[in-house]
């Protein structure tokens, strides 16, 4: 029974990928996943073709405000991209089949590189609201193993995670940040289940365990991307000081306000970064 379910999932993903390529008329090479409040980059896509999640077999509608739930295909700085606004979070109660469907769809459409963005709370002292962090490693504190279950078609059973974020892409991102005059310190992203924000004790535990920032996404998608042989890069937009580290309680509205501040910096960074990626995806 489980094998049949896994097979149906794979067939559906292949169909989703086929729909994206058919509508766009090209195969995207880079899949950009935009986090909460970070959707602005979708407007910078040239000759955009939009495919909403609702048009894809097996995709539910997204439920959180500000999650448009669509793929925009086109070119940014000459690079064929698929820009995803909205994602499915584990805190919404979705299983891995849904949470990982967008990254698998991007791969089925042709994406070899996945660039993930997210909103995160800053734990390390320099990670203040409005700043960016280049994720160079992660800590899965979701108490979930997103790849558990039948092996998905085109994914490894035991993917290596010793270098989850592509070393060459990390260097390209740092070079782009330097060129654009944007501070981009590296750090470890701690992923939690949510939807409640952390307690101060949980933040201290995450810090002790090595996390520099904390958020509720990205890690499941990176695991699937790596299992499927894609190269991953992730950047966090720091929207608040993590619980217990700032003067204010952690508040979703404030998170969204700072997401748009950090989001503008992130857009400039990605626009500088994409052309340098173009050569690395040919």
| Shortest spacing between CB 61 and ligand HPA, in angstroms | 22
Q: Is 92 a catalytic residue?
A: yes
Q: Is 89 a catalytic residue?
A: yes
Kindly report the length of the chain: 282
Closest alpha carbon to 9 in 57, 51, 74, 50: 57
| Shortest spacing between CB 95 and ligand HPA, in angstroms | 20
The yes or no reply on residue 187 touching ligand HPA (CB under 6 A) is no
Kindly identify the residues of this chain, within the stretch 201-230, that bind ligand HPA according to CB under 6 A.
214-216
For ligand HPA, which is the closer residue by CB, 113 or 266?
266
Q: Is 91 a catalytic residue?
A: yes
Tell me which of 166, 198, 212, 267 binds ligand HPA, using CB under 6 A: 198
A 10 A CB-CB count for 65 gives 9
Tokens of 191: 């992923």
| Shortest spacing between CB 42 and ligand HPA, in angstroms | 20
Tell me which of 12, 218, 230, 240 binds ligand HPA, using CB under 6 A: 240
Q: Please tell me the count of residues contacting ligand HPA according to CB under 6 A.
A: 14
For ligand HPA, which is the closer residue by CB, 229 or 249?
249
The yes or no reply on residue 239 touching ligand HPA (CB under 6 A) is yes
Print the binding letters for residues 104-143 with ligand HPA: x by CB under 6 A, - otherwise: ---------------xxx----------------------
Kindly identify the residues of this chain, within the stretch 55-114, that bind ligand HPA according to CB under 6 A.
none
| Shortest spacing between CB 69 and ligand HPA, in angstroms | 19
CA distances from 197 to 200, 211, 249, 269 (A): 10, 15, 10, 28
Q: What angle do CA 83, 239, 216 make, to 5 degrees?
A: 65
Tell me which of 255, 262, 269, 270 binds ligand HPA, using CB under 6 A: 255
Distance CA 44, CA 58 (A): 28
| Shortest spacing between CB 217 and ligand HPA, in angstroms | 8
For ligand HPA, which is the closer residue by CB, 187 or 228?
187
Check 89, 133, 191, 258 and give the catalytic one. 89
The yes or no reply on residue 250 touching ligand HPA (CB under 6 A) is yes
| Shortest spacing between CB 44 and ligand HPA, in angstroms | 23
Where on the chain is the footprint of ligand HPA (CB under 6 A)? 119-121, 192, 197-198, 214-216, 239-240, 242, 250, 255
Which residues are the active-site residues?
Answer: 36, 67, 89, 91-92, 119, 216-217, 240, 252
């Amino acid at each position: 029974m489980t094998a049949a379910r896994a097979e149906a999932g794979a067939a559906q993903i292949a169909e989703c990928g086929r729909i994206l390529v058919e509508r766009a008329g090209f195969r995207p090479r880079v899949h950009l996943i935009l986090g909460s409040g970070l959707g602005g980059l979708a407007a910078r896509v040239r000759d955009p073709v939009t495919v909403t999640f609702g048009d894809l077999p097996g995709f539910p509608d997204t439920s959180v405000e500000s999650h448009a739930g669509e793929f925009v295909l086109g070119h940014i700085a000459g690079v064929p991209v698929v820009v995803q606004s909205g994602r499915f979070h584990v805190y919404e109660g979705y299983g891995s089949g849904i949470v990982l469907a967008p990254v698998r769809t991007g791969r089925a459409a042709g994406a070899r590189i996945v660039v993930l963005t997210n909103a995160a709370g800053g734990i390390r002292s320099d990670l203040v609201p409005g700043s960016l962090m280049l994720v160079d490693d992660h800590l899965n504190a979701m108490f979930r193993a997103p790849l558990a279950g039948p092996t998905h078609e085109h994914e490894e059973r035991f993917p290596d995670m010793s270098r989850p974020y592509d070393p060459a892409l990390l260097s390209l991102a740092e070079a782009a940040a330097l060129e654009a005059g944007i501070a981009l310190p590296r750090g470890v992203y701690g992923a939690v289940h949510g939807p409640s924000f952390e307690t101060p004790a949980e933040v201290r535990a995450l810090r002790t365990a090595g996390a520099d920032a904390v958020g509720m996404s990205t890690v499941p998608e990176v695991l699937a991307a790596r299992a499927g042989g894609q190269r991953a890069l992730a950047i966090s937009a720091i929207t608040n000081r993590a619980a217990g580290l700032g003067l204010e309680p952690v508040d979703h509205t404030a998170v969204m306000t700072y997401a748009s501040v950090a989001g503008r910096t992130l857009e400039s960074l990605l626009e500088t970064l994409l052309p340098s990626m173009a050569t690395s995806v040919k």
